[in-house]
Structure 1
Amino acid sequence: MSSNQSFAGNPCPVPFVQDTFFTGGGFVEGRLCASVTADIRCCLPCPMTDWAYPDSFKTVGSVAQWLSVVGIICCVFLLISWAVLPVEKTFRHYLSICLTTGVLLMSLGFVIPLAAQPEECFDHITPNSMQTSSVCAASGTFLLLGGWAGVMWVFLRAVSLHLQICWQVVVGRNFMWFSQGVGWGIPVIGVVCALVFSGVSFRFGSTCHINHKNSLADLWIPLLVFAGLTIIIQFATFGYCIKVYLASLADNSASTEGSGLPSYTNSIRTMTPKQAYRRVRRVIELQWRGIAIVLIIITDVIFFSIVFVFQDNTVEAVKRDQSIAGDWIGCLLQNTGKKEPCLSKAAVLVVNMKTVGAVLFLLGMNGIWLALLLGRWSMVTGWVDLIMGPFSDRNKREFVSVDARLDDLKKDTRSYEMLSRDDGKTMDDSVTPSVVTPVSPTAKLPMRSPTSTNNRDSGASNDGRRTPDYFGHTARYHAPVRSFSSPRPPQTVTWDARETYARSPPKQDEYVNPLGLNRI
């Protein structure tokens, strides 16, 4: 709305307008008005931020919204990677997936106004609300839901880490279902309560925020309670880690020098300080990304909550006591509606623009932090392999011949030559291969004559390949007759070759294979 718009019979000085020119519609409680006489109320033109901040404020808001766009791209990349790529490439976990989803929803609350470019004001003095603007309803709902989800999932991540480090509890499927119920149930309930009892409107920039009415009870206090619990749990975990570290420095027991694991006879509850320190260090090395994300998200939410609550309370205080903004109003009247000379006196109405810009930038960067800390370079290589897979298949060899290079076998110890039914011939596509693996006891190599055995044991067969017979004999296991698991008096032990399955002395005419003496 133009600030110099004239209204016939307007008793209010420029730039103020009498509220009787506008009846109903929009968020009427969002007007900033002051009573001049018993019958005249003069209101500041909408939006209020245009009068309290310099013109560069819109540029700051636009930059923060474009940061949210980058954050959304990062979140979408993470979510698609976790859904498409194998787990060994992404190391996905439901705590990370749900937290990223929450940050994505919160970022949508800033991106939707950027794409829709909504009209912030319903009329000259009244801002739009969720009843009069669908864009306002969408952006406000996404902002509330994303903020709630972000706080709840960092809270659950902090609880999970605390249980693992401090109480040696392995969180499993029960904790996962509990987290899903709490992590999404409480945000949905909180958003419904906030929209029903408070509502959202254009009160601070182009994104809709919760109204002042009942906002402390249905949003800010519960949100800050969970944020405070997260900080307490996180610092309790840090305190335990410091305690374990200090105890390990004073531990001089020789039994813990050789291994960082608890002994076989001791449970995890009886670990020495050095063993406990090594266990905690391993957990932190695996979870440091999650710890950093918890601290970043919870700091952003608390910072945003404090700033917006302070801003909201300041505006409400001005509505109750117009003398608070007396100097600023007098400056506007003196300069006939020019805001530039009066910006220094508007500090009593709004939060400093640098502080607001810092809050918006931090919220917009949450998705980028997730990509940096939860993303891995293996995701990029995984996408390259997935995209280039159809093209690389054309270059693959259709079969492995009997004269395959030994370098390929050395690179992959699990690969075996695929032979046809006729020994020594290349397997053709029309022949069904017989796969030979070390775990297949029924696979047998073809019988050979003593001459071929001689050649085989000497290191080469007729076709020049090394084909050691690893599967020719099967050892039968027998339980030991004697056991020394408990102290017993020494017994006279006699050695019998048949009991130990040792090879009998060879006869004079029998051929002895020197390379096969190690086989049973």
Structure 2
Amino acid sequence: MTSLNGECPPPFLQESLFPSTGGFTDGRYCELLTNVTCCLPCPLSDWRYADNTAKRVDVASWISVAILPLCIFLLVSYAVLPVKWTNRHYLSICFTLGICCMEIAFIIPLGARPEQCYNQITPNDMYSDLSCAFSGAFLLFGGWLVVMWSFIRTIAFHLQVCWEFVLGPKFMWGAFICGFGIPAIGLTVMMIITGVSFRFGEICHININHGQQDYWYPIMAFAAAALILQLTTMAYCMHIYLRSLFDKSASTTENSSGIPSYTASVRTVTARQAYRRVRRVLQLQWRGVALVLIIIGNVIFFAVVFINLDREVEPTKSNMKKALPWLMCLIENNGQKKKCEKYASSLGPNEATLLAVVYLLSLVGFWNFILFARPSMFAGWLELFQRGFNRRHEFVSADPERYDHKGFEMLTTTSVKSPETYNMRSPSPAAMMGMQNTNAYANANANSRSPVASPSPTFDRNVHFGQDARYVRPSMSFSGPRPPSSSAGRDWDPSATFARGYAR
């Protein structure tokens, strides 16, 4: 390395001694000293932060290794189990997919173990390192997905609560187009115009040039819109709740029988009725609301930290003037960075802030699992395993080879030997009258002990017995079952009526 210093004082290296192509040349941290350009060795984060910072960043990757199976468990549960166990919804499924992309971005460096630097002064980028391209693409695309589906979920919640809008197929397809189309377009623009490179740790991040215009500002715009809309919806919920406390209308206080009142218009809704409707929506979607607030808070924090980092590291005259005391300290102490920590602390975010950003990014999947992993999912998996294990012991009630079916008729199955199907349905009124007359005739003969044999009733194969007809109560009917009167159990008094008494 001594031969590469050239005319630059240690620990700086002379830029002209390195090729001008290969790697991310714009990521070099160089400054013109006298008549030569001198650069700090790569990676820059090793000079700005402590020696064990890289190992601390790897902790976030191992956290993602533990959390990714939880996200996969949710997706598999959504795909395999019935809705009654998972309460799955396309908003939750797509949100979980975005989190999986972010977790994969942290796991890729553990298997690839990429080299952060192309040479002594140049970091690698997506063109010089394949793992950098994949980790950066997954991280950016996952971030876009999470923010967009948080925004869409906020819109859905606002429409349901404030406008009583029922989400239908049109909203679903519009959500799919925006939720995946905008992130795909954003990723394409970022990878073509801006690109990703190694900047902090072994995970590639978006570059400084045009990075704020391509990624951070649009992300911040959608996050801020989602936050404002979410706060507006919550303010409306509080307004409805406060109105319900002071609601003294007759429709909610006096009419406690549950019968609807038609004294006013059908469209008239009292405060307590609106509160009950809002409360039901909140009970169903409080998990999504909590997760959206967590994501929006994290995204705003990430954006502020990385935008500040980009501004501090960008090689401008003001930044170089601010970093001059730190650079001179490195020259005077021959590259011993521990003696210059007091000057480096004023450059960009500190180590604790950057580590907090990385850890919070990897923990997004944990909050998703805590909020959306319902206990019923585990009960559903238990039932699925038990049903699959006991399937071979199922009892077969109809076996034409071993049992004789001549003495009875199957209700729902078709006989193997005969093509006839015995469908049982309710008898017609005429058939019922005929059967009653036949039974009456038979009873009369039995009472008279007449030697005339009673005709045996014939069984019609076309007579069906099924479920009883379901009674649908009219919407404008106010009748209902009444309890028996107190005199129902008393004996009938003939003297109170014009009926004849019991006389023999």
Q: Pick the TM interval, shorter chain.
A: 0.7 to 0.9
Q: Secondary structure of 1:348's match?
A: coil
Report the equivalent of 2:494.
Answer: none
Query: Within 2, Cα distance between the matches of 1:63 and 1:350?
Result: 22
- 1:290-305 alignment, distance < 5 Å: 290-305=288-303
2:107 aligned with 1:111: yes
Query: Within 2, Cα distance between the matches of 1:321 and 1:360?
Result: 25
Query: Within 1, Cα distance between the matches of 2:210 and 2:2?
Result: 36
CA-to-aligned-CA distance 1:229-286 (integer Å, 9 cap, x gap):
0001100100100110111111012321356989475777421000001110110011
Preserved CA contact (<8 Å) 2:414 2:421: no
Query: Within 2, Cα distance between the matches of 1:47 and 1:395?
Result: 65
Report the equivalent of 1:376.
Answer: 374
Preserved CA contact (<8 Å) 1:136 1:202: yes
> Which of 46, 54, 64 in structure 1 is aligned with 2:60?
64
Report the equivalent of 1:409.
Answer: none
Note closer, same or farther for the CA distance 1:223–1:26 as it changes in structure 2 (3 Å cut). same
Query: Within 2, Cα distance between the matches of 1:391 and 1:7?
Result: 72
- Equivalenced residue count is 439
Report the equivalent of 1:26.
Answer: 23
Letter in 1 for 2:426: P
CA-to-aligned-CA distance 1:127-146 (integer Å, 9 cap, x gap):
01111111111111111111
2:75 aligned with 1:79: yes
Query: Within 1, Cα distance between the matches of 2:416 and 2:60?
Result: 64
Q: CA deviation at 1:422?
A: 2.9
2:239 aligned with 1:254: no
Query: Within 2, Cα distance between the matches of 1:474 and 1:216?
Result: 68
Preserved CA contact (<8 Å) 2:425 2:465: no
Note closer, same or farther for the CA distance 1:267–1:77 as it changes in structure 2 (3 Å cut). farther
Report the equivalent of 2:283.
Answer: 285
Note closer, same or farther for the CA distance 1:350–1:131 as it changes in structure 2 (3 Å cut). same
Report the equivalent of 1:316.
Answer: 314
Q: CA deviation at 1:384?
A: 2.3
Preserved CA contact (<8 Å) 1:34 1:319: no
Mean CA deviation greater in 113-122 or 251-260 = 251-260
Report the equivalent of 1:15.
Answer: 11
Letter in 2 for 1:34: E
Report the equivalent of 1:234.
Answer: 230
Preserved CA contact (<8 Å) 1:156 1:183: yes
2:407 aligned with 1:422: yes
- 1:423-442 alignment, distance < 5 Å: 441=426
- 1:159-174 alignment, distance < 5 Å: 159-174=155-170
Preserved CA contact (<8 Å) 1:102 1:150: yes
Query: Within 1, Cα distance between the matches of 2:96 and 2:156?
Result: 17
2:311 aligned with 1:331: no
Letter in 1 for 2:353: T
Identity of aligned residues (%): 44
Note closer, same or farther for the CA distance 1:473–1:246 as it changes in structure 2 (3 Å cut). closer
TM-score (norm 1): 0.76
TM-score (norm 2): 0.78
- 1:146-295 alignment, distance < 5 Å: 146-257=142-253, 263=260, 265=262, 269-295=267-293
Preserved CA contact (<8 Å) 1:260 1:278: no
Mean CA deviation greater in 281-290 or 269-278 = 269-278
Preserved CA contact (<8 Å) 1:260 1:274: no
Note closer, same or farther for the CA distance 1:275–1:34 as it changes in structure 2 (3 Å cut). same
Q: CA deviation at 1:221?
A: 1.1
Query: Within 2, Cα distance between the matches of 1:71 and 1:34?
Result: 43
Q: Secondary structure of 1:35's match?
A: strand
Query: Within 2, Cα distance between the matches of 1:203 and 1:193?
Result: 20
Q: CA deviation at 1:9?
A: 6.2
Q: CA deviation at 1:199?
A: 1.1
- 1:451-462 alignment, distance < 5 Å: none
Preserved CA contact (<8 Å) 2:29 2:315: no
2:356 aligned with 1:352: no
Preserved CA contact (<8 Å) 2:102 2:362: no
Q: CA deviation at 1:14?
A: 1.8
Preserved CA contact (<8 Å) 1:52 1:350: no
Query: Within 2, Cα distance between the matches of 1:171 and 1:333?
Result: 64
Q: CA deviation at 1:387?
A: 2.7
